[in-house]
Structure 1
Amino acid sequence: MSTTPTGTAVAATQPLKRRIAFASYVDENYLPGFLVLLRSLALSNPRVCEDFVVLYDDLRPASVERIQALHPRIVLRRVRAEHYADFVKGDPHNYLVRKAYFILDVFGIRDYDTIITLDTDMVVPGDISELLTLREGLGAVAQFFQGRDKLNSGLLVIQREYLTDGFCERIDRIGRSGEYELDKHDQGILNALLEGDFVRIDPRYNFVKRRLSGNKPVPEDVAILHFTGRHKPWNGGEVGYEAAEEVWHRYDLSDADFHAEFFALPGEKHPELVAHLGRRALAAGAGHATAQQVAAALVDLGRYRDAIEVLGRIRIPAERARAHALLGQALMADSRHAEAEAHLLLAAASPPVTPKAMGRLAQLRWVLHDDEGARRYALAGLAADPTDRMCGILHRRTAQAPPADTADDAEAGRQLAHVAFYMDQQGNAGDKVLPDAVRRCFGPDIGPAAWHPEHVHRYVDDAALARINRRRGLVIGGGGLFIPDTSPNGHSAWQWNVTDETIRAIEVPLAVFAVGYNAFEGQTYARERFTESLRTLVGRADFFGLRNHGSVERVRALLPAGLREKVVFQPCPTTVARQIVPGWRDPSERADTVMVNCAFDRAGLRFGHDYDHFLAQMARAIRALGEEVEVRYAAHAVTDEKFVLDLRRAHGITLPVDPMYDWDTPRILAEYARTRLVMGMRGHAGMIPFGCGTPIISLISHPKLAYFLKDIDRPEWGVSVHERRLGDLLTERARDLLANQEATVADVHDRQRWLWKVTRDNLGALGRLFDTTPAVEAVIG
C-alpha cells in the first residue's frame, strides 16, 4: 500500500494505460502566448501528442478555433471562476489577482494519471520527453530567488495521488484562510500547502527569464523558457532580454510558415499530429512531400481510405517510388487489389524500395489465392534483399503448390471447414497452438480427415465459398480475430477477409468459437464497415462464442438489441489444454524455473512513455527472483527477443532464451507444464501455461489479459506494465505463488474446471448443430 497526500491509504496499482495530459489556463490576453507555446511544443517535440486540457473562462469561438487548429487533442474545460471568489487575495489592482487561481482547477480533473501544467508565457525550445516519464509525487522547479524550499508553479508535473478531492479541500482551506503569500496567488497556496515537499525538477524545464538578465544568451540545454513578470514577448520588447525574446519569436509563426517548418523536420513525428496539421497544410496548397507524410500517418492510424484520398488528389510521378508504395499499401488494405498492384509495381522499379514492394505484392497475390504469383514476387524481392522477412515468409508459404480440394462429396461431408490464423514457421507460438486446440474441442481427430483449413487472411472468393459449403459446417475460431490491423482489408475491417454478401451465402451451420475482440486501448476500427460486417456475421451465425466476458461486452455494445443475446462466453481452448489433449499427464515434478515473456508488437500502444521504466522494474524483479530460481525467457515471436537484448544492454542481465517460435505444439505445452511460474505479456503466454496447470502472473499491456483474469476471478494474478512498483510487486507475488506452489496449482486446476464446464456445455450445443457428438468425454474432466 502507499499513501496519498491526504494521508489516505490506496492500493499501489496503475491503470491498464497511463493517461497523460498537458494543461494550461488560457484567456484572451494570454492567447498569443498559448499559440506560440503550442507551436513550439509541436516543433521541438514532434513525437509527443497527448491530450491538452485548456482551462478557460472567456475564450471567443474564433480563439478556440485557432487553438484547435494547432493540436488534435484539445480538451476544453471551463473553470469554476466563482469557486475562488472567497479566496483571500492580495493587491486588487493586479490583473492576476483573480485569474491566477484558475489553474488550480487542474487538481479537480480525474481523467488522467499524470498532468503537466504549462504557463501560457512559456515557450518550449527543447526536448521535454523526460517529463512524461516522471512517476512520483508533485514535480516542479524550485524558485530562482527563494532557494529550494519553494516551487515555481509555472510547470507542475502532477501525479494521480494529488488529483483528489482531499487535496482540493486542502487548497481551498488555505485559499480561504489567507495563510499564504498573497502576492504569489496560486503559487503561494501550493507552497504553503506543500511546505517544500515536492519533487525537484531540473531548472532547464522551467528556466525563468530573470536568469538571463543583461541579455544573456539562452543556454542550449533549456527545454522550457518562462517569461515571468509583467512584460510579455507579444506585447513588445523588454530591455535586457532581447536574446530570450528572440527564442520566443522563433515560434511566432504564420500558419504557412509553421506547417512548412513542421513538415520539414527530420525523423519520427506522431501520426495524430501529422494527420491533424497536414489536413490544413494540404488545404493551403502544400505539395507532394507533405501529402506523403500525411498519408503515411493516416496509414499508421489505420485510416486507409483517408490516405488514399490524400494521395489521390495529387499526380504522383513514376519516379516517386515511396509514394507509390504507400498508396499501394493503402489500396491493398482497402481491398482495391488491381489498383494496389499497379502502384506497387511502380514502386518496385526503384531498387531501394524493391524488396518491401515485392513483399506486399507477394502478400496481395497470396490473399487472392494466386500462390504462383505470390512465389514469383517473393523470389524477386529476395533477389533484391535475401534478408527481407515478408518475402521470406511468402516464399516459404508458397514453396509447394497448395493441395487441391480433391475430397469427394462424401469425404467433404465428414469434414468441418476451419477458418483460422495458420501460423508460419517462426511465427507466434500462441497462434501455432490455437488451431489444434480449437479442433481438439470437437474430437480427437484434428487432421485432414475431419478438418478442411481456410486461412482467415485469404479472400473468400467464389471458389473458397464453394469449398466451405461442401463441408458439414464451418468453425471460425481461435485467436483475437476482431482486430483491425493484423491483415487489414476493406471487406470486413477485421481479420477474416470476407464480404457481407459472402457471409449470407454460407449454407452450412456456422459457429464462431472462442474469438477475441483484440483492440488495444486507443486503437480504432473502420467503425462503419466493421460494425456492419460484425452484425452480418452474428445474424448468420448459429453459435457465436467469444473468449472472455470483456469481448462479449464490447461486441454486444455494437449490436442491435435483437442480436446481443446471441453472443455468449466461450473460453479460449488453450485455457483447458489439460482437458482436451489425449493422454495428458500432469508433471510428476517441475523444473525450478520461472519463465518470462514480453511482447513488442504495437509497442507504443503497450508501453506509451514507460518502456524504460518497465525495463528497469523487470530487471529489479528478475535479479531478485534469480537468486532463488532460474529465470528463463519464453520468446513467442522472434521480435520478443528485443526484451532480452535491451535487458542485457541497459541492465547487464543475460537470460537464457527458449525460442518457442521454433517449437511445435507438444514441446510448447510440455515446457509450460514443467515450469513453476510464467510471467507473460502475450495473451497466450498466460492462457497456455494456465491451460497446462501452471500458475501465471500476467504483465498487462492489453485489455484481454485483464479480461481473462477477471473471468477466472483472479485479478491479483495481473500487474499493469505501468505499475510504479512493478518490480517489487512482481517479486512479492511471484514469491508468494512459488512458496505456495501446491495450493496455487490446485487453484489453477479449480479455475480451469469452471472454464471446462462452460466449454462442455457449449460443445453439447455445437454437437447438435453439426449433427455429431464432440469426443469430449474421453479426456480428463
Structure 2
Amino acid sequence: MPSILAMLQISRQKDTMSVADLFLFTTDLDDTDFRTITDLVTTHGITTIRLDLDKVLSEQETLSFRKTHISISALGRFFTGSYIDSKYENILYIDGDVQVVGSIFDLANADIPNGKILGVIDRQFLKAKEHDKSGEKTREYLKKLEISHEEGYFNSGVLAATRETWINICKEAFDYFVKHSEDCMFHDQSALNAVCIGRRLPMSPKYNFTTMFVENNLLNIVKPSIIHFTGAEKPWFSKARPWRGRFMASYAELLRQFPQLEAFYSLREYFHSSGQSGLNKIDRHANRMWLLTRILTPWRVILRRRKLLSYLKTTRFFI
C-alpha cells in the first residue's frame, strides 16, 4: 500500500513520466492478490512484476537474515534488473516507505556514468565518530565492510545507475550477502555498500531525505522531493517524532479511494510485534529515544546538525 501511494505520486508528474516508466515489484502474493493490485495500478501507467523471492532464497542454505522491522523482501532489489527491458538506459530504484513530495525529473533524467551508482549518506555518517557504545559498534560495522570513510556509506532506499551497472552491482551484492550475511547488519544495504566502495557518486538528500535529516532540523534547508521514512516508526501507523502523524491522512485517503487495498493493510503481518499494543510500543520507544538524546546529550543534537550542514555546504553532489 505505501509503495502504491508513492508510485501514484510519481505518476502525476508529467515531466518525469515523459522520460520514465513505473514498475511495481511484488513478493509473496497469490494469483488473486496479484491481479487485484495489477488491475488497480495499470490504469495509472504502472506495470506490476512478480518476484519469486522465496524460491531464490531457499536455495541459499547458509543465508542469515538479522530479524528487525525490515522484511526479507528487501533483498528483492537484487533481482529487479533482469526484469527491466534492455531498451531502458537507467534504473531508478525507490523503496516503498517513501512519499514523493516534489519533482524527481532531474533524477529520473540523469546521465549517470557507467560503473557508478548514486546514493545518499546514511546515519553511520553521524555515528562513526561519536564516543559511545553506538559509535564503537558503528566503527566495527564499517570496518567489517572495509569502509574506511563514513561519508562513503550510503542508504539503499533510493539508488540510481545505468541498467547494466545496476544488474552487475546487484549480482555482486547478493553474492557478498550470501557469503557474509552475518556481517550484513543492514542486510541488502550492507552488501551494496561493501561492493560499491569507490563507485558511489554522492546524491543530494533532496532525493532521499531520510529520518536522520528531519531529526536534525534540515527540512527547510534541503527541501526534499523524496521523503524516506527510515526506522520502525512508519507513517501509516506511527505518531512518533519527528513527523508526529503528519502523513497518516494520506494513507487513509488512499484506502478510501481504493478500498480493495484494505486486504493488504495488515499491521499484524507487517510487524514482528503483535497488534496495536506492539505498534504503540514502537511509538513509545521512538519518543523516549528522541527525548533522551535531547535531555542526556543535548550537545549531540548541535554537533550532528553542524556536521550535516558542513557536509551539505562542502559536498559537490552529482545531482
In structure 2, what residue type is equivalent to 1:62?
Answer: T
Closer, same or farther in 2 for the Cα pair 1:255/1:95, shift >3 Å? closer
Q: Does structure 2 conserve the Cα–Cα contact (< 8 Å) formed by 1:89 and 1:97? A: no
Provide the rounded CA distance (Å) in 1 between the counterparts of 2:51 and 2:175.
Answer: 22
Closer, same or farther in 2 for the Cα pair 1:250/1:216, shift >3 Å? farther
Provide the rounded CA distance (Å) in 2 between the counterparts of 1:127 and 1:222.
Answer: 9
Provide the rounded CA distance (Å) in 2 between the counterparts of 1:248 and 1:197.
Answer: 37
Closer, same or farther in 2 for the Cα pair 1:42/1:249, shift >3 Å? farther
Query: 1:48 matched to which residue of 2?
Result: 16
* 1:222 is aligned to 2:224: yes
Closer, same or farther in 2 for the Cα pair 1:125/1:106, shift >3 Å? same
* 1:88 is aligned to 2:63: yes
Provide the rounded CA distance (Å) in 2 between the counterparts of 1:225 and 1:148.
Answer: 20
Q: Could you give the per-residue CA deviations for residues 176-197 of structure 1, whole angstroms, max 9, x where no partner exists?
A: 2116742211111100111242
Query: 2:51 matched to which residue of 1?
Result: 78
In structure 2, what residue type is equivalent to 1:138?
Answer: I
Question: 1:76 Cα deviation (Å)?
Answer: 2.0
Pick from 84, 88, 109: which aligns with 2:83? 109
Q: Does structure 2 conserve the Cα–Cα contact (< 8 Å) formed by 1:171 and 1:193? A: yes
Closer, same or farther in 2 for the Cα pair 1:84/1:182, shift >3 Å? same
Closer, same or farther in 2 for the Cα pair 1:66/1:219, shift >3 Å? farther
Closer, same or farther in 2 for the Cα pair 1:64/1:196, shift >3 Å? same
Provide the rounded CA distance (Å) in 2 between the counterparts of 1:151 and 1:219.
Answer: 20
Q: Does structure 2 conserve the Cα–Cα contact (< 8 Å) formed by 1:180 and 1:188? A: no
Q: Does structure 2 conserve the Cα–Cα contact (< 8 Å) formed by 1:108 and 1:163? A: no
Q: Does structure 2 conserve the Cα–Cα contact (< 8 Å) formed by 1:128 and 1:205? A: yes
Provide the rounded CA distance (Å) in 2 between the counterparts of 1:167 and 1:98.
Answer: 19
2:80 alignment partner, SS class: helix
Query: 2:156 matched to which residue of 1?
Result: 153
Pick from 115, 120, 136: which aligns with 2:96? 120
Provide the rounded CA distance (Å) in 2 between the counterparts of 1:215 and 1:74.
Answer: 37
In structure 1, what residue type is equivalent to 2:118?
Answer: G
> Aligned Cα RMSD in Å?
2.9
Q: Could you give the per-residue CA deviations for residues 694-749 of structure 1, whole angstroms, max 9, x where no partner exists?
A: xxxxxxxxxxxxxxxxxxxxxxxxxxxxxxxxxxxxxxxxxxxxxxxxxxxxxxxx
Provide the rounded CA distance (Å) in 1 between the counterparts of 2:10 and 2:216.
Answer: 27
Written as runs of structure 1 = structure 2, the 5 A alignment for 1:411-422 is: none
The gaps in structure 1 that reach 5 residues or longer are 1-30, 259-781
Pick from 164, 169, 172: which aligns with 1:170? 172
In structure 2, what residue type is equivalent to 1:236?
Answer: S
Q: Could you give the per-residue CA deviations for residues 314-369 of structure 1, whole angstroms, max 9, x where no partner exists?
A: xxxxxxxxxxxxxxxxxxxxxxxxxxxxxxxxxxxxxxxxxxxxxxxxxxxxxxxx
In structure 2, what residue type is equivalent to 1:77?
Answer: R
Written as runs of structure 1 = structure 2, the 5 A alignment for 1:157-236 is: 157-164=160-167, 166-178=168-180, 181-213=183-215, 221-236=223-238
1:212 alignment partner, SS class: helix
Q: Does structure 2 conserve the Cα–Cα contact (< 8 Å) formed by 1:125 and 1:222? A: yes
Which has the higher Rg, Structure 1 or Structure 2?
1
Q: Could you give the per-residue CA deviations for residues 244-284 of structure 1, whole angstroms, max 9, x where no partner exists?
A: x52564575358989xxxxxxxxxxxxxxxxxxxxxxxxxx
Closer, same or farther in 2 for the Cα pair 1:223/1:251, shift >3 Å? farther
Provide the rounded CA distance (Å) in 2 between the counterparts of 1:42 and 1:195.
Answer: 33
Identical-pair percentage: 20
Q: Does structure 1 conserve the Cα–Cα contact (< 8 Å) formed by 2:215 and 2:242? A: yes
Provide the rounded CA distance (Å) in 1 between the counterparts of 2:110 and 2:104.
Answer: 11
* 1:100 is aligned to 2:74: yes
* 1:36 is aligned to 2:10: no
1:139 alignment partner, SS class: strand
The gaps in structure 2 that reach 5 residues or longer are 126-149, 259-319
Closer, same or farther in 2 for the Cα pair 1:174/1:180, shift >3 Å? farther
* 1:246 is aligned to 2:246: yes
Q: Does structure 2 conserve the Cα–Cα contact (< 8 Å) formed by 1:53 and 1:74? A: yes
Written as runs of structure 1 = structure 2, the 5 A alignment for 1:650-661 is: none
User: TM (normalized to structure 1)?
Assistant: 0.26
Closer, same or farther in 2 for the Cα pair 1:123/1:115, shift >3 Å? same
Query: 2:316 matched to which residue of 1?
Result: none
Closer, same or farther in 2 for the Cα pair 1:240/1:73, shift >3 Å? closer
Query: 2:117 matched to which residue of 1?
Result: 138
Closer, same or farther in 2 for the Cα pair 1:184/1:88, shift >3 Å? same
Provide the rounded CA distance (Å) in 1 between the counterparts of 2:196 and 2:120.
Answer: 14
Question: 1:89 Cα deviation (Å)?
Answer: 2.4
Provide the rounded CA distance (Å) in 2 between the counterparts of 1:100 and 1:47.
Answer: 29
Provide the rounded CA distance (Å) in 1 between the counterparts of 2:160 and 2:235.
Answer: 25
Written as runs of structure 1 = structure 2, the 5 A alignment for 1:429-508 is: none
2:14 alignment partner, SS class: coil
Q: Does structure 1 conserve the Cα–Cα contact (< 8 Å) formed by 2:100 and 2:225? A: yes
In structure 2, what residue type is equivalent to 1:54?
Answer: L
Query: 1:58 matched to which residue of 2?
Result: 28
Q: Could you give the per-residue CA deviations for residues 68-113 of structure 1, whole angstroms, max 9, x where no partner exists?
A: 34x214242324432233263242x435352221121123335121
Provide the rounded CA distance (Å) in 2 between the counterparts of 1:179 and 1:157.
Answer: 24
Closer, same or farther in 2 for the Cα pair 1:139/1:55, shift >3 Å? same
Closer, same or farther in 2 for the Cα pair 1:140/1:214, shift >3 Å? closer
Question: 1:63 Cα deviation (Å)?
Answer: 3.1
Provide the rounded CA distance (Å) in 2 between the counterparts of 1:249 and 1:216.
Answer: 23
Closer, same or farther in 2 for the Cα pair 1:149/1:167, shift >3 Å? closer
Provide the rounded CA distance (Å) in 2 between the counterparts of 1:47 and 1:72.
Answer: 14
In structure 2, what residue type is equivalent to 1:76?
Answer: I
Q: Could you give the per-residue CA deviations for residues 209-261 of structure 1, whole angstroms, max 9, x where no partner exists?
A: 2322288756572110000111111123223322xx52564575358989xxx
Q: Does structure 2 conserve the Cα–Cα contact (< 8 Å) formed by 1:141 and 1:152? A: yes
Closer, same or farther in 2 for the Cα pair 1:169/1:215, shift >3 Å? closer
Provide the rounded CA distance (Å) in 2 between the counterparts of 1:103 and 1:115.
Answer: 11
Closer, same or farther in 2 for the Cα pair 1:216/1:206, shift >3 Å? closer
Q: Does structure 2 conserve the Cα–Cα contact (< 8 Å) formed by 1:216 and 1:241? A: no
Number of residue-to-residue matches in the alignment:
221
Q: Does structure 2 conserve the Cα–Cα contact (< 8 Å) formed by 1:97 and 1:185? A: no
1:178 alignment partner, SS class: helix
Closer, same or farther in 2 for the Cα pair 1:128/1:97, shift >3 Å? closer
1:228 alignment partner, SS class: coil
